[in-house]
Amino acid sequence: MYLLYRSLTATVVLLGASVLTFGLVYLTPGDSAETILIQQTGHQPSQEAVESFREEEGLNEPIPVQFVDWLGSALQGDLGQSYYSNRAVTELLVQHLPATIELAVASMAVALLVAIPTGVASAVHHGSSIDAGSQLVALVGVSMPNFWLGYLLIIVFALTLDLFPVAGTGGLSHLVLPAIALGTGMAAIVMRLVRTSMLEVIDREYVDGARAKGLRGRIVVYKHALRNALIPVVTVIGLQFAFVLNGAVVIEVVFQRPGLGTLLVDAIFARDYPVVQGVVLVIAVLFVVTNFLVDLTYHYLDPRISLGGGTR
């Protein structure tokens, strides 16, 4: 039942996202048909050309009819044709999506690898210099603009130490610096949350009980305390996925990675509406799917949360 419920809510969210995505064309100022023709031809179109374009593209139909047509095509994988390049939007998405997914996954991995041990250490050594140091690092990490950190990483690790390439795509080496640049902000947020969450559970009776049973400190912390502390953290990680996708727009430009971010920015500046709609829709789908998976993770972390609804 829970799965069915979550699937239904995810579908409703996606439907809402698709309405907003479709509505982008109508929310932007100016006559979209005229703007598109200027983009395509480079000069002011005649009124006849604008009318003819509206007719060809179905822009004279009532908006609900246009939406149903658009949604029907989108469900069949047809998101239209780019006004700018004449390429299928789906083709462009397939071309650019892997670079963004790669970056998003890598930056989340960086964030979690840094945030969880540091957050735990900070909580376990609450009030110590380790705690103060990690708090300071978290403050710096969350305050630092990711593009600036990107330049800093390039100067240190590419220019000075010559360990990584400055920009581009290719192997693992091209992924390290952008992943760190993008993952640092999230690491700082997650670390503070892990710390807070751990502090809440670390003095609970079941943790004391585990200690009383003579279990080693590390097992108590990581198996008993952390597992329970992770539930709010996992929720935030799911929400942070949107942060990662937003940040990717900037980081992809700094590190010249041809991902969804650069595709979206270029499409916005070119008023290439089908591409903008396609990218926004894909980002919405990724966000909803990620949060759906996060919901499923709750059950693993705390079996009392039942996928069938309620607790046991």
Partner 1 sequence: MTEPHHDTSRRTVLQATLAGGVGALAGCLTDEATGGDDGASDEFTIGLHSDPTDDDWDAFDYVVPYFTQVVEPLVGVSSDVEPEPLLATDWTAIDDTTWEFDLREGVTFHDGTDLTAADVVASFEATFDHWPWVDGWTGLDPGSTTAVDETTVRFETTDPFPAFPGAISHHYFAIQNHDAADAPVGTGPFEVDTTEDGEVRLVAFEQYRNETPEPSALTFRHLEDDTTRVLSLENGDIDIAHDVPKDQAAAVDEHPETTIQTQVGNHAGLVAVNLYKSPTDDEGLRRALNWAVDQAELVETVLDGIGMPARGPFSSSIPWSIHEELPAYGPDRDRARELVDDSSYDGEELSMLVDSEDGDDSRIAEVLQNWFDEIGVATEIVQVDPASFYDTFVAGEANLTIVGFGSNSAASDYLVRAMFHSRGSDNYQRYEADGTGVYNPGDEVDRLIEDGYRAETGAEKREYYGEVQRRVLETGAIVPLYYDEYVLGTRASVSGIETHPIDKMLEWTELSRTARGDDGA
Sign, CA dihedral 192-194-196-202, equals negative
Give the single-character DSSP code of 135. H
Q: Which long-range contacts (CB under 8 A, 24 or more apart) does 65-71 make?
A: 66/22, 67/19, 67/22, 70/22, 70/277, 71/18, 71/22
**Minimum CB–partner distance for residue 290 and partner 1 (Å):** 25
**Strand stretches in the chain, DSSP E:** none
Give Rg (Cα) of the chain. Answer: 24
254 touches partner 1 by CB under 8 A: yes
Binding-residue pattern over the window 154 to 173 for partner 1, x denoting contact by CB under 8 A: xx--xx--xxxxxxx-xxxx
Name which of 250, 233, 245 is nearest 285 in CA terms.
245
Closer to partner 1 by Cβ: residue 241 or 273 = 273
Tokens of 67: 């939406």
The count of chain residues that interact with partner 1, using the rule CB under 8 A, is 44
Only one of the segments 70-78, 79-87, 207-215, 302-310 lies at the binding site for partner 1 (rule: CB under 8 A); that segment is 79-87
Tokens of 100: 């963004």
Which of 21, 35, 107, 197 touches partner 1 (CB under 8 A)?
A: 35
**Minimum CB–partner distance for residue 172 and partner 1 (Å):** 7
Closer to partner 1 by Cβ: residue 70 or 84 = 84
**Minimum CB–partner distance for residue 278 and partner 1 (Å):** 14
Which of 258, 285, 305, 307 touches partner 1 (CB under 8 A)?
A: 258
Name which of 238, 111, 254 is nearest 178 in CA terms.
254
60 touches partner 1 by CB under 8 A: no
Which of 62, 75, 76, 86 touches partner 1 (CB under 8 A)?
A: 86
84 touches partner 1 by CB under 8 A: yes
Tokens of 121: 């250490």
On whether the CB atoms of residues 57 and 243 are closer than 8 A, the answer is no
Give 311's strand partners.
305
220 touches partner 1 by CB under 8 A: no
Tokens of 56: 């060809």
Give the single-character DSSP code of 83. T
Which of 90, 95, 235, 306 touches partner 1 (CB under 8 A)?
A: 95
Question: What is the binding site for partner 1 (CB under 8 A)?
Answer: 29-30, 34-35, 38-39, 41-44, 82, 84-87, 95-96, 151, 154-155, 158-159, 162-168, 170-173, 176, 253-256, 258, 262, 268-271
